[in-house]
Amino acid sequence: PPRVLSGVQPSGALHLGNYLGALVKFTRLQHEIDTFIFVADLHAITVWQDPAALAQQTREIAAAYIASGLDPDKATIFPQSAVREHAELSWIFNCVARLGWLDRMTQFKEKSGKHKERSSVGLYTYPVLQAADILIYKATHVPVGEDQKQHLELTRDIAQKFNHDFNAPGFFPLPDPLIQGPGARVMSLRDGSAKMSKSDPSDYSRINLTDTADDIAAKVKKARTDPEPLPETIEELATRAEADNLVGIFAALAGKTKAEVLADYAGKGFGTFKPALAELAVESLAPVGERMRGLLGDPAVLDAILAKGAEKAREAAAPTLAEVKKLVGFWGA
């Protein structure tokens, strides 16, 4: 049966890229398919996280999920570390995946930068844990942003090799990434060639879910652009990275295509377009930030949702791990 799985790391404030690339998609899918959405705390500690802050960061992501429309009675919402089957399957997958496959992962290269030797081993094997997150639930669909495409291909490779090596055809499904729409790749407001990201040192590069209306308006106003008015066609727009990004954000927030946005704004300058974009962004995000603050005011409610979600997730994960242990041939399995 079809099943959706995805998650976000509790490693900092969520931004518009996370919202459009991931959160809004979860909310849509929960009505159609059995949906599991976790807070990726095991992933977060691949880089240093303050132990005094991590649990609260986890609640913040859960609050962001619910504030963007995820319904805890429909979707299963849980902290990754509360379901030990993820880590256990991940070890077995470490023995299935090949070094050569991981060596090709561009996210590790980007995140480790010049300090490869000082990166954690966890940062390197991160995509293997991600494969375990997905396959422990035999998930078939994974809504993510464009940046996760390569990791999803690795998940398919691991599933295929496991099924082959342990003579279990079709045991793990080969999950499909759901990477769609103009929100799948939101770029930095300061640089149209870099993705909007939590770890960018400039807060002006991103719009955070918790930004005030004034912050949002100021960031859109300062966003880098060129001096030309907006073009008539998508092809022309594609040659102007910053303009393309702002039109893409507008389209994603308005639920339109980029062509539809151009039909309204072609020939108009950024002096007209930016205030309209700021207004739309405030209209869309302010209520999300408001609901997040409300939810965080009552941590006991969030904790109860996470505890119940973890229980449901364990019920789904445990049988898969038991079958895997049998296939691998462990004693007592």
Q: Which residues bind ligand AQP (CB under 6 A)?
A: 8-9, 11, 17-18, 21-22, 144-145, 147-148, 184-186, 195-199
Q: How far is the CB of 157 from ligand AQP (least distance, A)?
A: 19
Label the pairing between strands 34-39 and 76-79.
parallel
Phi-psi bin for 7: left (phi > 0), alpha (psi -120 to 50), beta? beta
195 annotated active-site: yes
Instruction: Give whichever of 147 and 153 is closer to ligand AQP, judged by the CB atom.
Output: 147
Of 25, 109, 161, 198, which residue is the catalytic one? 198
Coil, strand or helix at 294: helix
Instruction: Give whichever of 8 and 321 is closer to ligand AQP, judged by the CB atom.
Output: 8
Q: How far is the CB of 11 from ligand AQP (least distance, A)?
A: 6
Q: How far is the CB of 21 from ligand AQP (least distance, A)?
A: 2
Radius of gyration of the chain (CA): 21
Cα–Cα distances in angstroms (integers) from residue 110 to residues 164, 188, 199, 206, in the given order: 32, 16, 12, 19
Instruction: Give whichever of 181 and 229 is closer to ligand AQP, judged by the CB atom.
Output: 181
Name the residue whose CB lies closest to ligand AQP: 21
Position 111, amino acid: K
Listing from the earlier edge strand, what are the strands of the sheet with 76-79?
Answer: 76-79, 34-39, 3-8, 141-143, 176-178
198 annotated active-site: yes
Helix pair 270-296, 51-67: axis angle to 10 deg:
110
Burial-class residue 315 by CB neighbours within 10 Å (0-12, 13-18, 19+). Answer: exposed
Of 111, 308, 312, 325, which residue is the catalytic one? 111
Of 25, 195, 258, 274, which residue is the catalytic one? 195
325 annotated active-site: no
Residue 66 token pair: 């619910």
How far separated are the first and last CA of the chain, in Å rounded?
25
Q: How far is the CB of 76 from ligand AQP (least distance, A)?
A: 17
Instruction: Give whichever of 147 and 191 is closer to ligand AQP, judged by the CB atom.
Output: 147
Instruction: Give whichever of 30 and 197 is closer to ligand AQP, judged by the CB atom.
Output: 197
Q: How far is the CB of 184 from ligand AQP (least distance, A)?
A: 6
Report, as residue numbers or ranges, the catalytic residues.
111, 195, 198
